[in-house]
């Protein structure tokens, strides 16, 4: 069973049983395939290689659910949901090249099958098509917001790259990175649906916060699974983020709270291997780092922050969504539970 299936099976089952947005999801998938199709065979194959391998579609589904919650009747939510997934796909193609990744969604990454240059260019093509699609959105405030978020995502990726193998990275920088590179797209999904339905500024900001909290929790859980997950279930190699020198919260915490000798072990590992060459860190070193972060309480620390984020997000749904539609509110809360299940 793939990572995508395990992570959100209850959420998807709940959607299927309630038939709330099934037709919307089908329309999004159909439109997405249209925007992925290309006369250039290599572009067509690279784009479909990633999308056809699966995916949770959490971001577009989140947008569709919030639009449904507020009884949206037009069609721009379908277009926006598709754009979110198109942008996400383009970002993944670029990420795999930058990170020198070999596995994505339990398959070989596109850059391992084709070339880095081809994958970068196809990612650029998908970005261009996303912005071509954006021109069809009627609400110019949403267009400006989407463009701003896209810029912040790139800034987040650059900030992460700048801090690779940087043992001075602190929690403030870490949370800025994951907010920009991961949470912003979740925030966009939730808030843009409230903008489409012309909710007041308070509601817009609260749902933006709900999306942000989901995204932050999502990335924290990914960081934990990089050390403790099952490669088959999570769809990538264990320790990849460590080999890339990414400044995860677990490493930051361990560098402050682990035994002095363990802190030095991490510092030595990072200082000796300040590059993007993954070959240097052996599996036993990954396991050693896992033992360090587990014994010093880093994993529990990260889990507690996830729980805090999820509780805050749940309160927003109880306060703002339940009065509108208890069924959809229940699904939005189930999403939080399913994310938490990944690390229990």
pLDDT tens digits, residue range 64-88?
Answer: 999 999 999 888 999 999 999 999 8
> What's the mean pLDDT in 157-171?
92
User: Among 1-15, 168-182, 273-287, which range has the highest average pLDDT?
Assistant: 168-182
For residue 228, what pLDDT is reported? 72
C-alpha span between 93 and 89 (Å, rounded):
6
For residue 7, what pLDDT is reported? 39
C-alpha span between 29 and 69 (Å, rounded):
21
Q: Please spell the DSSP secondary structure of 294-343, one letter per residue.
A: HHTTHHHHHHHHHHHHHHHHHHHHHHHTTTT-HHHHHHHHHHHHHHHHTT
* Residues β-bridged to residue 268: none
Taking a C-beta distance cutoff of 8 angstroms, is the pair 196, 80 a contact? Answer: yes
State the pTM of this model.
0.88
- Residue 108 in 3-state DSSP? strand
C-alpha span between 152 and 156 (Å, rounded):
6
Q: What percent of the chain has pLDDT over 70?
A: 85
Residue 9 — pLDDT band, cuts 50, 70, 90? very low
């Amino acid at each position: 069973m793939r990572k995508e299936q395990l992570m959100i099976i209850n959420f998807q089952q709940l959607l299927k049983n309630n038939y709330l947005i099934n037709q919307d999801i089908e329309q999004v998938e159909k439109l997405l395939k249209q925007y992925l199709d290309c006369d250039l065979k290599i572009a067509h194959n690279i784009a479909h290689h990633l999308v056809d391998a699966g995916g949770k579609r959490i971001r577009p589904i989140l947008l569709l659910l919030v639009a449904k919650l507020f009884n949206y009747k037009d069609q721009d939510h379908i277009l926006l949901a598709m754009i979110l997934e198109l942008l996400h796909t383009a970002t993944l193609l670029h990420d795999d090249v930058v990170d020198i990744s070999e596995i994505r969604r339990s398959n070989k990454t596109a850059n391992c099958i084709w070339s880095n240059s081809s994958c970068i260019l196809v990612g650029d093509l998908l970005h261009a098509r996303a912005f071509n699609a954006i021109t069809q959105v009627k609400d110019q405030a949403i267009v400006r917001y989407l463009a701003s978020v896209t810029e912040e995502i790139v800034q987040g990726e650059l900030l992460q790259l700048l801090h690779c193998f940087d043992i001075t990275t602190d929690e403030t920088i870490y949370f800025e990175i994951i907010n920009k590179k991961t949470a912003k797209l979740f925030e966009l999904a939730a808030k843009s649906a409230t903008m489409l339905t012309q909710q007041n500024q308070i509601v817009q900001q609260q749902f933006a916060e709900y999306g942000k909290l989901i995204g932050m929790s999502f990335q924290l859980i990914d960081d934990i699974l990089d050390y403790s997950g099952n490669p088959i279930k999570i769809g990538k190699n264990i320790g990849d983020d460590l080999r890339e020198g990414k400044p995860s919260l677990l490493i930051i915490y361990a560098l402050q709270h682990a035994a002095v000798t363990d802190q030095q072990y991490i510092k030595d590992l990072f200082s000796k291997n300040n590059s993007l060459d993954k070959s240097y860190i052996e599996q036993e070193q990954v396991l050693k780092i896992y033992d360090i972060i587990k014994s010093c309480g880093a994993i529990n620390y990260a889990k507690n922050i996830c729980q805090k984020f999820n509780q805050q997000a749940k309160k927003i749904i109880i306060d703002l969504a339940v009065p509108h539609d208890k069924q959809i509110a229940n699904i939005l809360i189930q999403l939080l539970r399913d994310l938490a299940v990944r690390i229990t």
